[in-house]
Amino acid sequence: MAIYKRGKTWTVQISWYVTDLDFPNEKKKKYKTKGGFHTKAEAKKWEIEQLTAKNSNKPTNDNPIFVDYFWNWATTFRLPGASDATKRRYTSQTNILRKYFGPTKINNINRNDYQKFINRYGEDHSKITVKKLHGVIKACISDAYDEGIVPQNFTNRINLVWDDKKTRHIEYLSIAEIQKLIEVTKSSLYHIYTTPYMILTAIYTGMRLGEIMALQWDDIDENKQTININKSYDYISQKDKAPKNSSSKRTIYISESLIKILNELKQNGHKFIFAESNNKLPSNNAVNHALKNRMKKAGINKEGFHFHSLRHCHVAYLVAHHVDWYEISKRLGHSNIGITMDTYSYMIDEMKATQQKILAQALDSMDKPKNCI
């Protein structure tokens, strides 16, 4: 603690220690400084208040309205430079908190209150929606704890609940269905219409739609047979944006056959590989419509299957061919393998069940005598 005079007013500085998130066994020092006190007695009074608050691990008298703090945190730390889609998502999340918590101040919320919120929100929302909202709120409150705004992180040790009926299981195709879809799509290739080429790119690479849209010719290295994924495309704003996260920037191997297919589009003469005759990229609706048409021709009926499902098909194909999950995670651009395993847990469980059935059949057959030659 320190009280000192600066010019004609007095200033107080307090300090405290918090757990270092990068090194949980270590502590890092945090500071809070307040000036403008007209007398030393006023400065001393504020210092005593902070000492009292520090003993409860809350070295501040600030107690903002929760939703106000969340929005200020979002606009300060998350939204600068973010895509329009990200801005809309944070606006929506702020409205969710405002609807539930109203004018409740942040220090009036405890772990029990927050769990009730998750229970209520999870009643009619999917697993992924609940996890995304909780993840953002947890990051916000972690910062509030580090700043001394809250005495404890009330988002820790929360039981996430969701509506299984609204939780969409991953849709993917069998190897035979993937090959049939490739065959049908290849049969309809014509360089003027680029949506079939986008479908094949998704199947062969597992790239996200925005990443495919953003591809330009200098992103492909034909000699090394690689694609450099370094940006995404926001169709609403009609402009490039940074990838989903830092790990989304990656270079992946592609087959020689895909390079040959994509080279057909060079005659279109556009900067973006998949731009059509109007020099614009196909919309989300256009690529999904093209996909449904080709699935119908291939005799594949999958309710809820959409363009992003092709990414899941790519994963299923790699897993079926015994590609390591770590390599799959890097290829998808996930920040860590845990995200990959969590995303595809349903697929993993299905494949485990299949393997267990095969194992059971193999073990059962051991007791059945066979004619020896």
Q: How far apart are CA 208 and CA 333, in angstroms?
A: 10
Please report which confidence band the pLDDT of residue 18 belongs to, taking 50, 70 and 90 as the band edges.
Answer: low
Is 253 strand, coil or helix?
strand
pLDDT digits (tens, 9 = 90+) for 327-359: 999 999 998 888 888 778 767 766 666 667 767
Residue 367, Ramachandran bin (φ over 0: left; ψ between -120 and 50: alpha; else beta):
alpha
Q: How many CA atoms lie within 13 A of 314 on its CB side?
A: 21
Helix count (H) and strand count (E) of the chain?
A: 14, 8
The domain defined by 175-336 folds into hpI Integrase; Chain A (1.10.443)
Contact 217, 273 (CB under 8 A): yes
Res. 122: pLDDT tops 80 = yes
Mean pLDDT of the chain: 86
Q: pTM, whole model, 2 decimals?
A: 0.64
| Partners of 221 in beta bridges | 226
CA distance 125 to 116: 14
Asked if the 66-166 domain carries CATH number 1.10.150.130, the reply is: yes
What ranges do the domains of the chain cover?
2-55, 66-166, 175-336
What is the arithmetic mean of pLDDT over 27-32? 68
Segments in 147-194 forming alpha helices (H): 175-187
List 2's β-bridge partners, or say none: 13
Kindly give, in sequence order, each residue whose CB lies less than 8 Å from that of residue 225, ignoring residues fewer than 6 positions away.
Answer: 253, 254, 255, 256, 259
Position 373 pLDDT exceeds 50: no
Look at residue 134 and give its three-state secondary structure: helix
- Number of C-beta neighbours around residue 67 at 10 A: 21
Strands 27-37 and 9-19: antiparallel
pLDDT in tens, 218-263: 999 999 999 999 999 887 777 888 776 788 899 999 999 999 999 9
- Spell out the residues 6+ positions from residue 20 whose beta carbon is closer than 8 angstroms to its own: 26, 27, 28
Distance (Å, whole) CA 185 – CA 295: 9
